[in-house]
Amino acid sequence: MHSDLSSRCRHRERRPSLPGPPPPARRPAVDERRTTVADARDDEIRIPGAPAAEPPSLEEPTEPREPLPPKPDQSGPETRTPTGAETGAPQSAVAQQGAYLTTANGTRLADTDHSLKAGPRGPVLLQDHHLREKITHFDHERIPERVVHARGAAAHGVFEANGAAEGVTKAAFLRAGTRTRVFVRFSTVLGSRGSADTVRDTRGFATKFYTREGVYDLVGNNIPVFFIQDAIKFPDIIHAGKPHPDREIPQAQSAHDTFWDFVSLHTEAQHHTMWNMSDRGIPRSYRMMQGFGVHTFRLVNEAGETSLVKFHWRPKLGTHGLTWEEAQLLSGKDPDFHRRDLADAIEAGAHPQWTLALQVMPDTPEETFEGIDLLDPTKIVPEELCPLQEIGTMTLDANPSNFFAETEQVAFHPGHLVPGIDVTNDPLLQGRLFSYIDTQITRLGGPNFAQLPINRTHADVNDMLRDGMHQTAVHAGVAPYKPNSLDGGCPFHAGADEGAFIEVPAPVAESVKERSQPASFDDHFTQVRLFYRSLTPIEQQHVADAYAFELGKCYEQAIKERQLRALAAIDAELCAIVAGSLGLPVPEPEVEVGDPEPSPALRMVGDAWPIDGRMVGVVADESTDAAVLMAVRTAIHGAGALPVVIAPHGGMLGPVPVQRSFHTATSVELDGVVVLAASTDRRAVELLGEAFRHGKAIGVVTAAASALDVLGLDPAAPGIVTGDPAAVTAGVLDLLPTHRVWDRLAAVSA
């Protein structure tokens, strides 16, 4: 079914490495830390924070039992009728009942991990009532904010195609020179609308293309894989990651028991988890963040030939992260940092840009490439095996004028497709096709959300959808049905030659309906090892630190031990580092994992990038020569970066406006610092010390050298430039393209 294009990646079969047999069951260790209110002596210290009424076992429980009671410190409302009368029933009567998983109507279920499909690799069937009930209920759990991706920021822009995709898709917006308006929303996943921007979390990267053939939504993340392989488990991973339901804490983070309980038991989540523990989990900026379509999609060209592809957004400024300390400082000093950074850059004219690229692979009956199952959303295709082909550039050039009307009300849906782009049988994607539109009906008050200004298509609409809440169109005619003669037969069907969307007639293998998945989905560790071993040593150290922090915040030792077993299968050295931080023994690996070839493309460290929009602090005071200050600002601005003048007070320094005082300045918003005036003010000293600690470029003019003496910093240390103002400024600008002074950070970590 695929075209024979010379630029297409070659296809060679390679047998995937599969994990070994499951480990033998082990009796849980006695948890001597837990003391309940009922059995505690007055002289014992009661350690709070236990997530449940009793400690969990190390292995997944398999013996059916009744639901656990609440913890001793918990109570529910009194049991009364709707009109206030006492019922006399215990509080447990309104909680879950029975030992077995059921539907909302009490029907017991044998499987909640696999959608009902037409064979292991077939499409998901509409008759899967359990999938629909489970996801429908999940989609409607919270109002009015999004259940996931609640906290976001967005911008308007334009996408211009270069024509490189014309051989693989007939999508009109990808023809050479075509310019298409877009609206892009970035977001965190777990936090509420009021949470901080700089938490460790996956980021959404959703793009709405207003094409002449209709709206096309590319709804992705900044991580190319996902936690789960089947959409039926989406409520499970989000329930695990969200705050504990009894205390509604912790907010916007995964450093807690329920998250690690799930991912340590459900090891297909280990790949996404490893990406999240890397520096990609705390981006420096939305402007410096990759985006991925996650799934494999099917493209069809004018000749009817098909290809399997993966979408990649590549930031022109490079992919960069915050250090963990920077993220913590920003959560307190500027929890809106990412949305502010995006809006400020656009306002300053430093318009963020991304290239859209494809990995194009043959559309074979097996739907695999190099032994990688392309329908498995927990797997990547390394760029070394299938290089990226750039097909266009997106520039964000305008901020929203009303956050609610645009950023909050924009509605994305993976099923918003245009001719030339189609879906595959990826079971996660198949469930998303149902879930997104169902969610919008609750969030936006009815089925007419497409008529909200931010969601309106730029193509002609002649549908037969009528009425409903928030209907703003005034439909004419008397026959909203087909066929009709009273409206002259209008609207008419279009053919493929008239731009109709026609699903690719992909074959469906003869099979039986069943809840299962292909055996090729069962390797949960090889690509996790691939990712970790592709990183540079400093990035690997950050990964280990992240695991140590996240698991260290868990209460249950069994959960920590279980996750260490997963790390043992991924990398023995990583497991040993994390186990040492937790004070736990290092487990032996229990599954056999192959040794994949590292992929240098997965590293974030080592390249140089444009410095457009980078922020350079310029520390000055009343003694600073105004001409020198103006020259430094001009040089920074001329290089494409943004100068930020920092002084002991606000207002003006001669003719130059002060942007930050020592009260309001923070090192974490800066990419480099030029010191024109030394100060012993504690806040100025802290700013410079933090900048040094976080690997920022630092320039100090000779007259301000005492600033280094106060901190005991060696002027010859990596990334410190001294001399006259022109030389110092040029030196700092020369250091910015690598994002940080990595040699300095490596020395600190050694």
The partner residues of 211 in beta bridges, in order of sequence, read 214
The H or E element that residue 260 is part of is helix 257-265
Could you tell me which residues come within 8 angstroms of residue 556 by beta carbon, excluding any fewer than 6 positions away?
Answer: 31, 50, 51, 55, 56, 257, 261
3-state secondary structure of 520: helix
Q: Which long-range contacts (CB under 8 A, 24 or more apart) does 699-703 make?
A: 699/672, 699/673, 699/674, 699/675, 699/728, 699/729, 699/731, 699/732, 700/674, 700/675, 700/728, 701/674, 701/675, 701/676, 701/725, 701/728, 703/676, 703/677, 703/678
User: What is the residue-wise DSSP string for 608-649?
Assistant: ----TT-EEEEE--TTS-HHHHHHHHHHHHHTT-EEEEEESS
Buried residues in 535-574 as b, exposed as e (16+ CB within 10 A): beebbbbbbbbbbbbbbebbbbbbbbbbbbbbbbbbbeeb
User: What is the residue-wise DSSP string for 27-55?
Assistant: PPPP-TT---TTT--TTSPP----SSSSP
The partner residues of 314 in beta bridges, in order of sequence, read 355
Q: What is the DSSP letter of 397?
A: E
Place of tokens 């993340």: 221
Three-state helix/strand/coil letters over 385-396: CCCCEEEEEEEE
- The reply, when asked if residue 432 is annotated as ligand binding, is yes
Catalytic residue among 2, 114, 156, 221: 221
Active-site annotation holds for 149: yes
The partner residues of 649 in beta bridges, in order of sequence, read none
- The reply, when asked if residue 633 is annotated as ligand binding, is no
**Phi and psi for 725 in degrees, rounded to 5?**
-55, -40
Taking CA atoms, 95 is separated from 67, 70, 345, in Å, by 9, 10, 50
Three-state helix/strand/coil letters over 678-746: CCCCHHHHHHHHHHHHCCCEEEEEHHHCHHHHHHCCCCCCCCEEEECHHHHHHHHHHHHHHCCCHHHHH
CB 423 within 8 A of CB 417: yes
Give the separation between CA 155 and CA 342, rounded to whole angstroms.
8
Closest residue by Cα to residue 378 from 254, 526, 253:
526
Taking CA atoms, 134 is separated from 101, 453, 461, in Å, by 12, 31, 33
Amino acid (1-letter code) at residue 540? Q
Active-site annotation holds for 105: no
Residue 278, Cα to own-chain centre: how many angstroms?
12
Amino acid (1-letter code) at residue 743? D
- The reply, when asked if residue 216 is annotated as ligand binding, is no
- The reply, when asked if residue 443 is annotated as ligand binding, is yes
Give the separation between CA 397 and CA 351, rounded to whole angstroms.
6
Catalytic residue among 149, 272, 320, 413: 149
Give the separation between CA 335 and CA 270, rounded to whole angstroms.
28
- The reply, when asked if residue 34 is annotated as ligand binding, is no
What is the crossing angle of helices 572-582 and 537-552, to 10°?
40
Catalytic residues: 149, 221
Show binding-site residues for heme.
146, 185, 234, 432, 436, 443
Please state the residue numbers annotated as binding site: 146, 185, 234, 432, 436, 443
